[in-house]
Amino acid sequence: MSFLTTLASAFKGGGESRVPLARGFVSPWALAFDQSGGSRPFDYGEAIRSGFLANPIAQRAVRIVAESVGRAPLSVSDERLGALVKATSAGQPLLETLAAHLLLHGNGYVQLVKDGSGTPVELFALRPERVNVVAGPDGWPCAYEYRLATKVLTIGLEDENGWPELIHIKAMHPADDHYGAGTLAAANQAIAIHNAASTWNRSLLENAARPSGALVYDAGDGSGLTADQFERLKSELAAAFAGQGNAGRPMLLDGGLKWQSMALSPADMDFAELKSAAARDIALAFGVPPMLLGLPGDNTYANYREANRALWRLTLLPLADKLLSALCEGLAPWFPDARLSVDLDQVTALSEDRERLWKQVSEAEFLSESEKRAMLGLDTKGARA
């Protein structure tokens, strides 16, 4: 039975499936994210619209990280566990979805959908903005509320057998006990600057907010254009020279008119640089080297190979290890000895590092074969002493 079927049946049953809230109090996510210490809560929905859907830098950075984690080769000690983790959640790869949730929201929630015997048959990633923690009298979570429109489903921490019902994965938040801090909140100001700069540039193209030059009227006697002459000249210019179709068209002037070119002012050039700086800040927040996003002016890494290796070492591997470790811990009652990790030998970007490590270990004559295999992360069973 899929999660959607389970959710529909729970909602259909009204409040029977809910844990009484008298056990604790609801700790809403939005209140945990006051901007700059103010009272206005962080609006996740608006941040998604302006920061992910409308910003190419943030969206590409999130996709690079989430899709890379979702496609990372895994080393799985139990095939059943591997099948659960590699399956999709609502049509999307589970690990990719969780990685995106952790980056954007700071929290990932995985509901364990079980069969009649209580064995997990599906891992479903819940929309994090719909989940609230129900904290008990002692402050520790005692349940989770999942809200969909006017419906509320309360999911307990454990079932009647004492086994987990939901796995909560969160990024570190030093000032919150129940929720993690999303990267989108940290990048919000840089995204706002980048979006404003894009809107400003679009206005330049559509409304000629900064003219490329000016027509100067010099009659020689100090007189100016009449109102009718001014309006006629303006309408003729708009019809003959404005718009993309008239770009580059030569201008014929008479009657004391002359053309005076206007270059970019220092303030205009500073504004363009501000947009590039904001784009680099967005990439920095999501842990993606700016070079991989095609951002100009970034020479932190000598080439794409070094940038890609840094992406794996500093961003992808720590995030993947966090997700896999949390899933292993949550599923430990059913798979106590199972192990999940990224298979580093199959990651192309890290091949040079692995080759260097293999060479160093193989040339260490003072190590036994078992010790060498252990250093390389291989099974030591059957190794020669």
pLDDT computed for residue 273 by the predictor: 78
Per the CB < 8 A criterion, the answer to whether 155 and 6 are in contact is: no
pLDDT computed for residue 346 by the predictor: 85
3-class DSSP state of 89: strand
pLDDT higher than 90, residue 328: yes
Rounded Cα distance, 118 and 283, in Å: 43
Mean pLDDT of 55-65: 95
Each residue of 2-35: b (16+ CB within 10 Å) or e? ebeebbeebbeeeeebbbeeeebeebebeebbee
pLDDT computed for residue 215 by the predictor: 58
CA dihedral 128, 129, 130, 134 (to 10 degrees): 80
Per the CB < 8 A criterion, the answer to whether 88 and 94 are in contact is: yes
Compute CA 113 distance to the chain's CA centroid, rounded to the nearest angstrom. Answer: 26
Residue bearing tokens 């303030």 = 267
User: Out of 69-73, 112-116, 240-244, which region has the weakest mean confidence (pLDDT)?
Assistant: 240-244
pLDDT tens string 124-176:
999 999 999 998 888 888 899 999 888 999 898 888 888 899 999 999 999 88
Per the CB < 8 A criterion, the answer to whether 110 and 331 are in contact is: no
Domain boundaries, the chain: 1-208+281-342, 211-263, 347-385
Which run of H or of E encompasses 23?
Answer: none
Per the CB < 8 A criterion, the answer to whether 193 and 274 are in contact is: yes
More confident residue, 270 or 115: 115
Mean pLDDT of 369-380: 71
Mean pLDDT of 323-350: 89
In order of 17, 120, 167, 169, 341, the CA distances from 325 in angstroms are: 30, 17, 11, 10, 8
Q: Which two tokens stand for residue 194?
A: 């980048």
Per the CB < 8 A criterion, the answer to whether 104 and 183 are in contact is: yes
pLDDT computed for residue 15 by the predictor: 43
pLDDT higher than 60, residue 23: no
pLDDT tens string 77-97:
888 999 999 998 888 999 999
pLDDT band at 54 (very low <50, low <70, confident <90, very high): very high
pLDDT computed for residue 334 by the predictor: 93
User: What's the distance, Cα to Cα, between the start and end of the chain in Å?
Assistant: 50
pLDDT band at 217 (very low <50, low <70, confident <90, very high): low
Mean pLDDT of 355-359: 72
Rounded Cα distance, 121 and 9, in Å: 18
pLDDT computed for residue 353 by the predictor: 72
Identity of the amino acid at 122: E
Mean pLDDT of 352-375: 74
pLDDT computed for residue 159 by the predictor: 83
pLDDT computed for residue 4 by the predictor: 52
pLDDT higher than 70, residue 266: no
Mean pLDDT of 276-291: 91
pLDDT computed for residue 43 by the predictor: 84
pLDDT computed for residue 167 by the predictor: 94
